[in-house]
A and B are shown apart, each in its own frame.
Chain A
C-alpha cells in the first residue's frame, strides 16, 4: 500500500535535499497528481485501511453483512460517480447495468446442475466478465449521451431501466422470472468457498466475506481514483463543466462520453455480480428504478465527484435500513411500515442534502477539515 500511495519520483538525476517535510514545495507535477498528494492524506488512508481490517473482529456477523454489502455497493457508487459526478452525464440507468452484471455473473458462475442456466466457471472469470458485458452495454448506450444533455439524457436512461425490467422478467431461463428468482454465482476464490459456514479456519462467513468485499473495494477505489486523477479524469471534468468549451480545447466529446458510460457500467457490472452472489437468491424486480435512485442517493449524500464520498454514501445508505428499524420503534404500530419509513427517509435525505449540503457527506468532511487546516486563522 505504502509504495502505491507514494508518488513516483521524477526522472531526474538532481539530488534534492531539503524537500522532505515540506509538502508544499512542489518540484514536479507528479507531486500534485499523486494518489495521496499530502502526507496527512497518506497517513490517514493507511490508518483507515488498517482500522477497517480490524473491524470484523469487533462486530457481530449480521452487522458485518450490512457493511459487506455496503462496501460492494460502494464500487457501484464509484462507477455512477464517474459518469454522473466526474463527467456530468446524469444517468438513471445504473440499475440496468447492475442487472446485466448480476445475471452475467450468475449465468457464468452459477451451478451447472441448478434449475437455471449456469456454467459453473470460477470467480476470476465471472467477475471480470460481468464487468465487461455491462461495459459493452454501456458502450451501446454511450452514443446517446453524445446527442443528449441534462434532463433528456436522464429520461432516456430512465427508459433503459424499464426496457431492462421487461427483459429480465421475460427471460425466465436466465432470471427465473418474477416471484421465483435464481441463485447468484458461486463465491469460490483460490479454493476458498466464501458461502460456507467457516471458509477459512478461525474466520466466520461474515468475517471472510467482509475481507473479500474490503479487498474488492480497495482495488476498485484505487482504480477509480486513478481514473479521476489521470488525463481521462480531467477530460471528464472539462466535459462536465462546459462541453462546448471542452470540445474547443481539444477534448473529444464522443470518445469521453462513451468512455464514461463504459467505465461506469464496468463498475456497475462487477458490483451486480458480487452483490447478488453474496445475497444468494435474487429476482428481476430488484433492478427497478428504486435501485437507480438508491445509487443516485449514495452519490448525492456521499459527495459528487469524490471517491471517498461515494464510499461514505454507500455505507450510509447500506446502514439506513438499520436506522429506519430503530426509528420505527418510536412510530405507533400500524401507521407506516418499516419499508415505507425507509422510502420516506430516502426522499427526505436526498432533498435535505441537495438543499443544505450539496457537496454531501464529503462536503461536511471538507468543512471540518478546512476548519482545522486553517487553524489558527479562519481564512
Chain B
C-alpha cells in the first residue's frame, strides 16, 4: 500500500462521509435528476467489476466515446479504479479519427454513447481486432436491431458487474489499493493541429498534483471552490480542461456537476443552474457576447436605449478594471451598483452568469475586447493557460491581480521559464505528463532531460510577474521583409466582432499580410435581414457586396490598431463554414492551417496576384 490517493479513492471517501449530498445532476425530461455521492461510487464500482469480468487487466486502455453525462464519470472512475487507462474520444470525431485513436491506444473495451457512435465503430470494426467489447449507453435504435456479438448494453454491463461483485466482492478494492503513482490514469489525445492526434499519458501522480493544487486554493479560484459550488459540464470531457473543471474539481472539493440534456440546450441549462464556476473556450465567450448583441438589436426602443446607455458605462468600468488588475475603484463601484439594477443583474441572470463568482477562458487566445465586455457587466473573468502535457496547470490570472492580454502568473508549485533563444515558454512541475503513448521520439522532443516541458508557445514576461503569449511557435509569420508577426493577435481582434467567426491571417514569406475571413451566419444573417437583404446560402450571403463592405469596415478598424506592416492589405471570404469532418478544424474547433492553406490555395494566390479585385472567392479545390 502506497500513500497514493487516487480519484476513485477520493470518490469513495466522499461516498462514505457525505453519502446523500449531491455529486451531480443530469437533466432528463425537464427535471434535474440528482445523483448522490453514494450512487456515484456504487455505479463506478460496478463499472470496475464489470471491466474485470470482461478481462480488463492492469495497464489496459478503455475508450469512452460519449457526450458529457453521468455515465462518462462512472466509466472514468470505474476504469481508473481497476488501474486501466481512460481514453476519451470527441463525440464529433468522424470514423477515421475514431479508428486512429482506438488503434493507436490499443483499447480493449469501448464505451459508446448511442447508435451514432456505435455506427462509427461498426464501420471500422474489422481494423480493430484488439477491441473485444463495445458497451452502449443509450439502447435506442440498437437493441433488437443490431446483433453484433461484441455489443453489450449498459444495463447488462452493470448486471455483469453486480454478478462479478457477488462472486469476487473485493476485486475492485484490491486493485484500487494496489495503485501506483506512475500508473497510467488517462490518455488525452491532443487535438492535432499539425499532424495526427498524439496520446498524452497522464499518470495517477499527475492528476494528484492537479487535485492538490486545486485543494490548496492557489489555483484558479479564490476563495477556494467548495461543495457549494455548481459547475455546468458542457465542453468535451476528453479535453483536459473540461476534465479539470468537471471530474477533478468534483473529486477534489466536491463541487456539484450539472449535465445539460444536450449540447444544444447549454444556454438554457446555464440559465437554470446559474453555476458559480464557469470555464469556457474563447469561442463560447465570443458566442455569448455576440448573442447578446443580436438579441438586443431586436429589442424594443426603450430596452435598446437602456442597454446602450449601460453598456457604455460597462465599457468604462471594464477599462478601469483592466487598468486596476480587476479591482474596483469607488467610482466604478457606484456606477456598477446603479447599472446592476437596470441592466447587469437581469442580463447576467438571463445569460446564466448571475451567480458566477469565477469565470475562466483558456485553451486558445481570447480577444481583450471580449474579456472587457464580461468584466464590464461584473463577471470576474480570468484568462488561464495550460495544456494537456502539463495537466492544464501552468499560469493563471489570479483574482485581484488580473492583467488583460496576459495569461497570468505561474501557479503555485509551477516553475516557468522562457527560453532565451527561441522565446519558447517552458514549464516544470510534478504534473508534467509521462510522455506520448507509443511515441518516445515526440516525447523526447517535448520534455528535455531536466524535466522542462517545451510548450510550443512563444511568450514574454510582462512586469516580471505575468506571462504574455505571442503565438504558437509554428504559427509565427515571417514576412518577406523579415518581420516577425503573430497572426493570432490580429485574428482575435477581427474575431472580437460579432460578425466574424473565422479569421486566418496569411503572409508567411510574402510581401504583405492577407486574410481569409468567414462570417458568423447567425449575426450576419440577422444583420442582412435588418438591411432587407435577401440571401439563400452561407456562400451567397458571404458574396454580397454589402456584406463584403461590412467586413471591410471591420478589417479597417483592426488595421488602425496595428503597425503598418501588421495591417491586412486584402482579404477573401471563405465560401463555406469550416468543418471538423472535412479536416479543416480539429475537434476543439482549432484551425488546421496546413489544410486551409492547401484547400484555399487558389483564393490565397488570388490575394497576392495583381488583379485589382480585392475579393477573390475562388472555387473550392476538389
A-to-B contact residues, CB < 8 Å: 13-18, 21-22, 24-29, 32, 375-379
Q: Which of B31, B299, B350 contacts A27 (CB under 8 A)?
A: B31
A15 B20 Cβ-Cβ under 8 A: yes
B300 close to chain A: CB less than 8 A: yes
* List of B residues within 8 angstroms of A24 by Cβ: 271-272, 274
**Which residue on chain A has the smallest CB distance to residue B254?**
A17
* List of A residues within 8 angstroms of B30 by Cβ: 26, 32
Q: Which of B21, B36, B273 contacts A25 (CB under 8 A)?
A: B273
Given contacts A18-B256, A376-B299, A379-B295, contact A13 B20 (CB under 8 A): yes
What are 28 A-B pairs at a CB distance below 8 A? A14-B34, A14-B36, A15-B20, A15-B22, A16-B22, A16-B34, A17-B22, A17-B228, A18-B229, A18-B230, A21-B355, A22-B355, A24-B271, A24-B272, A26-B30, A26-B32, A27-B25, A27-B31, A376-B307, A376-B346, A376-B350, A377-B295, A377-B299, A377-B303, A378-B295, A378-B298, A378-B300, A378-B303
Q: For the complex, what is the distance from the CA of A19 to the CA of B498, rounded to whole Å?
A: 34
* List of A residues within 8 angstroms of B229 by Cβ: 18
**Which residue on chain A has the smallest CB distance to residue B298?**
A378
A25 B299 Cβ-Cβ under 8 A: no
Q: For the complex, what is the distance from the CA of A28 to the CA of B27, rounded to whole Å?
A: 11
B306 close to chain A: CB less than 8 A: yes
Minimum distance in angstroms from A305 CB to a CB of chain B: 22
B31 A28 Cβ-Cβ under 8 A: yes
Within 8 A of A (CB), among B316-356: 343, 346-347, 350, 355
B602 close to chain A: CB less than 8 A: no
B-to-A contact residues, CB < 8 Å: 18, 20-22, 25, 30-34, 36, 227-230, 256, 271-274, 295-296, 298-300, 303, 306-307, 343, 346-347, 350, 355
Minimum distance in angstroms from A43 CB to a CB of chain B: 17
Dominant SS among interface residues on chain B: mixed
B272 A22 Cβ-Cβ under 8 A: yes
Given contacts A14-B20, A376-B343, A377-B296, contact A22 B273 (CB under 8 A): yes
B303 A376 Cβ-Cβ under 8 A: yes
Q: For the complex, what is the distance from the CA of A332 to the CA of B23, rounded to whole Å?
A: 76
Since A22-B355, A25-B273, A28-B31 are in contact, a sample of 11 more A-B pairs with Cβ atoms closer than 8 Å, ordered by chain A residue number, is A14-B34, A15-B22, A27-B32, A376-B306, A376-B346, A376-B347, A377-B299, A377-B303, A377-B350, A379-B298, A379-B299
* List of B residues within 8 angstroms of A15 by Cβ: 18, 20-22
**Which residue on chain B has the smallest CB distance to residue A29?**
B31
* List of B residues within 8 angstroms of A29 by Cβ: 31
Q: For the complex, what is the distance from the CA of A26 to the CA of B269, rounded to whole Å?
A: 11
Q: For the complex, what is the distance from the CA of A144 to the CA of B33, rounded to whole Å?
A: 45
Minimum distance in angstroms from A33 CB to a CB of chain B: 12
B350 A25 Cβ-Cβ under 8 A: no
* List of B residues within 8 angstroms of A379 by Cβ: 295, 298-299
B21 A17 Cβ-Cβ under 8 A: yes
Minimum distance in angstroms from B348 CB to a CB of chain A: 10
Q: For the complex, what is the distance from the CA of A280 to the CA of B165, rounded to whole Å?
A: 80
Q: For the complex, what is the distance from the CA of A13 to the CA of B347, rounded to whole Å?
A: 35
Q: For the complex, what is the distance from the CA of A13 to the CA of B272, rounded to whole Å?
A: 23
**Which residue on chain B has the smallest CB distance to residue A13?**
B20
Minimum distance in angstroms from B538 CB to a CB of chain A: 24
Minimum distance in angstroms from A371 CB to a CB of chain B: 8
* List of A residues within 8 angstroms of B227 by Cβ: 17
**Which residue on chain A has the smallest CB distance to residue B350?**
A377
Q: Which 6 A-B pairs have the closest CB atoms?
A: A378-B299, A24-B272, A377-B295, A15-B20, A375-B346, A27-B32
Q: For the complex, what is the distance from the CA of A377 to the CA of B300, rounded to whole Å?
A: 8
**Which residue on chain B has the smallest CB distance to residue A23?**
B272
Minimum distance in angstroms from A241 CB to a CB of chain B: 20
Minimum distance in angstroms from B90 CB to a CB of chain A: 28
Interface centre among A15, A377, A379 (most CB of B within 10 A): A377
Minimum distance in angstroms from B233 CB to a CB of chain A: 15
B274 A22 Cβ-Cβ under 8 A: yes
**Which residue on chain A has the smallest CB distance to residue B30?**
A26
Q: For the complex, what is the distance from the CA of A185 to the CA of B498, rounded to whole Å?
A: 72
Q: For the complex, what is the distance from the CA of A126 to the CA of B148, rounded to whole Å?
A: 74
* List of B residues within 8 angstroms of A376 by Cβ: 296, 299, 303, 306-307, 343, 346-347, 350
Minimum distance in angstroms from B158 CB to a CB of chain A: 21
Minimum distance in angstroms from B504 CB to a CB of chain A: 33
Q: For the complex, what is the distance from the CA of A17 to the CA of B25, rounded to whole Å?
A: 12
Q: For the complex, what is the distance from the CA of A227 to the CA of B32, rounded to whole Å?
A: 26
* List of B residues within 8 angstroms of A32 by Cβ: 30
* List of A residues within 8 angstroms of B355 by Cβ: 21-22
Minimum distance in angstroms from A31 CB to a CB of chain B: 9
* List of A residues within 8 angstroms of B307 by Cβ: 376
* List of B residues within 8 angstroms of A25 by Cβ: 32, 272-274
B295 A27 Cβ-Cβ under 8 A: no
Q: For the complex, what is the distance from the CA of A22 to the CA of B299, rounded to whole Å?
A: 26
Interface centre among A22, A28, A32 (most CB of B within 10 A): A22
Q: For the complex, what is the distance from the CA of A371 to the CA of B298, rounded to whole Å?
A: 14
Minimum distance in angstroms from A370 CB to a CB of chain B: 12
Q: Which of A14, A22, A28 contacts B22 (CB under 8 A)?
A: A14
Q: Which of B31, B256, B274, B303 contacts A375 (CB under 8 A)?
A: B303
Q: For the complex, what is the distance from the CA of A170 to the CA of B230, rounded to whole Å?
A: 72
Q: For the complex, what is the distance from the CA of A377 to the CA of B228, rounded to whole Å?
A: 30
